[in-house]
Structure 1
Amino acid sequence: MEPAAAMTLRHAILGIIAQKPSTGFELLREFDAGHSVIWPAPQNEVYRVLRQLKDEGLAEIVAEGARGSRTYAATDAGRAELGAWLAAPSDYTLRYEPVLKACFLDQTDPQSRIARARQDLAFFQEQLRVIERTARQKAGQPGPVREDARAMAVALYTALSGWARAIVEEGGSEP
């Protein structure tokens, strides 16, 4: 069995090409850390997974374009694999460094604790701005909206922002 991270990227790519046939370049934009940290992926991994999905019969090339670009779509077997993954139990293990650091903030001095919370708050708020900006840019465009994922990400970053804001305010300063 593959590690959970590899399986997640594999199914994320399969999900995207099931929603809308896409080139590797289009997939790279979906996984760009500049748009969101939900699931960034390096270029070599995206192309490796695409080749693997094709070799396994879960994806097929439906068009070839300029400079060797290929558009991939999910096959019926790929859609069945995606459906099985969606129905399977989720891995709820939270591996997020800010949460781990929060476990040990009591091991540092109050100023460092507040500084850490300020940095986290700035990051979480920036992620909310990125999500909002991306939603505005995609509004009215053809293609998948992924509103459920967007709503979950907004709720997550809003909650994390609330935690960080409380630490900062507890220290007597506004961010």
Structure 2
Amino acid sequence: MSLRHAILGIIAQKPSTGFDLLREFDAGQSVIWPAPQNEVYRVLRQLKEEGLAEIVARGARGSRTYGATPAGRAALAQWLAAPSDYTLRYEPVLKACFLDQASPHARLERARQDLAFFESQIALLSRPAARSPDAPDRENARTMALGLYTALASWARTIVEADEGR
């Protein structure tokens, strides 16, 4: 997945300002795809230059609301139809493959840290504010992420419980 497709998808669902997008990609709030401010604005400029986005409104203090152009909607549809990359590149999963190489203490600490993170993401995704009634398709993504973090938390909890019992 790329940030450009995420931004294009959001502005196709609902025209948004850069500030609106920053809230969507806030690293403290976005478990799916966090992004720094400079990247969000850079991608918006590129999408506009490529004719995939356009300014649909101007607001106070020079804010601009971007929407997807017909070409942008076509590019989004093409990306959605393309085969997905199912390669999982998630560092906690890779580390799990080698936990047998760690000391029992290090293994337990790694699992505790992972469990704390996964549970924090579950709590974040379970908040009513995490739901997106304006964008039901993003509700599907939230539900998928919630299932992923629930499974990962279950794995970490199993390690913690087994190692604490030793």
Same structural fold, with TM-score higher than 0.5 when normalized by the shorter chain: yes
Q: Which amino acid aligns with 1:119?
A: Q
Counterpart of 1:170? 162
Q: Over aligned residue pairs, what C-alpha RMSD do you find?
A: 1.4
Equivalences for 1:22-171 in 2 at 5 Å?
22-133=16-127, 136-137=128-129, 143-145=134-136, 146-171=138-163
Mean Cα deviation higher: 95-104 or 9-18: 95-104
Is the alpha carbon distance of 1:142 and 1:63 closer, same or farther for their aligned partners in structure 2, counting shifts above 3 Å? farther
For 2:153 and 2:34, the matched residues in 1 are separated by 21
Contact 1:131/1:154 (8 A) holds in 2: yes
Paired residue total = 164
State the one-letter code of the partner of 1:125. E
Partner SS, residue 77 of structure 2: helix
User: What is the CA distance between 1:22 and its match in structure 2?
Assistant: 0.1
Show the counterpart of 2:5. Answer: 11
Task: Answer yes or no: is the 8 Å Cα contact 1:124–1:158 preserved in 2.
Answer: yes
Q: What is the percentage of aligned positions where both structures have the same residue? A: 74
* Kept after mapping to 2: 8 A contact 1:36/1:131: no
C-alpha contact (below 8 Å) 1:58/1:75 kept by paired residues = yes
Structure 2: how far apart are the matches of 1:164 and 1:123?
10
Could you give the per-residue CA deviations for residues 133-158 of structure 1, whole angstroms, max 9, x where no partner exists? 1xx1266x762142210110011000
Any runs of at least 4 consecutive aligned residues in structure 1 with deviations exceeding 6 A, and if so which? none
Displacement of 1:14: 0.2
- Structure 2, unaligned stretches of length 5 or more? none
Structure 1, gaps ≥5 residues long: none
In structure 2, C-alpha distance between the alignment counterparts of 1:97 and 1:137, rounded to whole Å: 28
Q: Cα deviations across residues 96-149 of structure 1 (Å, max 9, x unaligned)? A: 11111112111111111011001100100000000111xx1266x762142210
- Inter-partner Cα distance in structure 2 for 1:98 and 1:92: 16
Q: Please tell me whether the aligned partners of residues 124 and 130 of structure 2 are also in contact (alpha carbons under 8 angstroms).
A: no
Contact map agreement 2:111 2:159 (CA 8 A) in 1: yes
- TM-score by structure 2 length? 0.94
Most deviating of 92-101 and 63-72: 92-101
Q: Distance in 2 between matches of 1:62 and 1:147?
A: 25
